[in-house]
């Protein structure tokens, strides 16, 4: 039998983050333009979102566009945002059917008004969904997130609302882009690279890392289940003696 296997032997993490890498390599190997890899990557996004929601993942964060990605050729950036806009409209039914609540993590300043409008509309439409939270990291950088948090904290100190000694881990967490989401238990990266690439630097402190060799467009339910099985074999000590 093909298709997703039941989840009886899977340990499902509460929170999952994914660095979707290898779209360009997938396209190159197939003899296509890079953008075809991103297009095919949308199918992998849909499969991962619906399968994570079905299995009961509470929060999924997808690294869709980093702050560093602004340095890519303008044509690729435009096409990526075309795809994102299409996704934000075309996937609304899928998000609603799967009770998924959409969120955004990242800087809004460089996003075009039409992208922001569609993002905000889909966020508002899905805000009442009580299933999985899906946070799209767009124009996102982990260091930039910490800079933005520090600036807001510094402003509160300057205004006399907070004393420096009262700044704790809880304060910093409260100033992250999505403070309500649990830290990732599992960080998945595709295409074989073993790097964090400025993703969720604060939040991945104790994440288990799973590197999949397949390029993102080929990442499906089978690879997601393999990641969850790998996660299920880890002994998580959080720095303590078990």
The reply on whether position 171 binds ligand FPP by CB under 6 A is no
* 21 given a catalytic annotation: yes
Q: In what order do the strands lie in the sheet with 15-19?
A: 101-105, 133-140, 59-66, 15-19, 186-189, 208-211
Site for ligand FPP in 6-45 (CB under 6 A): 20-25, 38, 41-42, 45
Torsion sign, CA atoms 80, 91, 144, 18:
negative
Min dist CB 240 to ligand FPP, Å, is 36
Of the pair 77, 172, the CB lying nearest ligand FPP is at 77
Question: Min. distance of Cβ 172 from ligand FPP in angstroms?
Answer: 27
Query: Is 8 marked active-site?
Result: no
- Cα gap 213→190, rounded to integer Å: 6
Cα angle, residue 190 at apex, residues 186 and 193 outer, rounded to 5°? 100
Which is closer to ligand FPP, CB of 89 or CB of 154? 89
Least distance between ligand FPP and beta carbon 82 (Å): 10
Number of residues that bind ligand FPP (CB under 6 A): 19
Q: Kindly name the residue from 7, 69, 148, 230 that is annotated as catalytic.
A: 69
Q: Which of residues 177-236 bind ligand FPP (CB under 6 A)?
A: 191, 216
3-state per-residue secondary structure call for 101-150: EEEEECCCCCCCHHHHHHHHHHHHHHCCCCCCEEEEEEEECHHHHHHHHH
Using CB under 6 A as the criterion, which residues of the chain lie in contact with ligand FPP when the complex forms? 20-25, 38, 41-42, 45, 62, 64, 69, 83-84, 87, 136, 191, 216
């Amino acid at each position: 039998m093909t298709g997703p296997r039941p989840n009886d032997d899977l340990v499902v993490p509460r929170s999952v983050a994914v660095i979707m890498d290898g779209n360009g390599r997938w396209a190159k190997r197939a003899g296509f333009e890079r953008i075809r890899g991103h297009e095919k990557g949308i199918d992998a996004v849909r499969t991962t979102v619906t399968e994570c929601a079905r299995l009961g993942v509470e929060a999924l964060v997808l690294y869709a566009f980093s702050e560093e990605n602004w340095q890519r050729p303008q044509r690729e950036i435009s096409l990526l945002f075309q795809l994102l806009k299409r996704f934000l409209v075309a996937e609304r039914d899928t998000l609603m059917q799967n009770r998924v609540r959409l969120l955004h993590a990242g800087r809004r300043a460089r996003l075009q008004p039409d992208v922001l409008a569609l993002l905000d509309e889909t966020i508002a439409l899905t805000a009442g969904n009580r299933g999985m939270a899906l946070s799209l990291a767009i124009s996102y950088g982990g260091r930039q997130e910490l800079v933005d948090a520090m600036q807001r904290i510094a402003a509160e100190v300057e205004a006399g609302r907070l004393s420096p000694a009262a700044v704790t881990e809880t304060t910093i967490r409260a100033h992250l882009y999505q403070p309500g989401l649990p830290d990732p238990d599992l960080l998945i990266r595709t295409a074989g690279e073993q790097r964090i690439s400025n993703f969720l630097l604060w939040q991945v402190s104790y994440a288990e890392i799973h590197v999949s060799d397949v390029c993102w467009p080929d990442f499906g339910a089978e690879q997601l289940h393999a990641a969850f099985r790998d996660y299920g074999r880890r002994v998580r000590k959080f720095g303590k003696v078990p």
